[in-house]
Amino acid sequence: MPIINQVVSGSGGSGPTGLYREFQLDANGVLQPNTTTTHIMDFTGMTDVSEYALAYAYQNNTAISGAVDMSDLTTISGSYACFYMFYKCRGITSANLSALTTISGSYGCGGMFNGCTGITSANLSALTTISGSYGCGSMFLGCTGITSANLSALTTISGSYGCVGMFQGCTSLATVYIGGTTAIDFGTRTNQFQNMFQNCTQNIDVYAPAASQSAIEGLSGYPNFGGTGNVVWHWRS
């Protein structure tokens, strides 16, 4: 089957001017995402992702495996920029987003690693701001291999439903760091963590700022946010 590289809207900053998704024609001549390629494109130098640029880029590709290195990425500024980007790519083992500080587009990372059951770790340790509605919604839904998550730099969640269902179905999740010791600004919304731990079956220890205790306790779904295990909050000062 012929493979077609489709150029889509690219990133800003100093990154490349165009990104691509690979497609192929099926036996009936219908354009389909390429689910057999074994490589992931080189994201070196990509600092920002614009609207829809990488949406569905590798969905249902079970052929790719190993680590995803997006360590130059600092901003996801477009709505749906990485929406369902690696959906059900079960061979991915880790994701390096260690420089990412800002997710400003609605659904910017929505479902980005949904169904990636092979992922054991994801580095979001620099993420400070989620300003797009549903910015991290269902980002790691069904990632049954993840045992811990580090969001220790988080200071602002201003878009509604910012982390809704973020770790839903992460049945191995046991430790989560949300913010450091600085208060997190949740805006006026009480739905930022709605169903964040839905169907998480382990007991989970969550570490969060003492300065945000009253705000977090006032969010819809506290303390378990959908988890069926016991979610224990530890307040750091």
Q: Which of 101, 146, 95 is nearest to 125 (CA)?
A: 101
The pLDDT tens digits for 92-134 are 999 999 999 999 999 999 999 999 999 998 899 999 999 999 9
Mean pLDDT along residues 149-174: 97
| pTM for the structure as a whole | 0.87
Roughly how many angstroms between the first and final C-alpha of the chain, as a whole number? 58
The pLDDT tens digits for 22-58 are 666 667 777 566 667 787 877 888 888 888 888 888 8
Peptide bond into 2 cis (omega under 30): no
Q: Is the predicted pLDDT of residue 210 greater than 90, yes or no? A: yes
Encoded amino acid at 182, one letter: T
- Look at residue 174 in the predicted model and tell me its pLDDT: 97
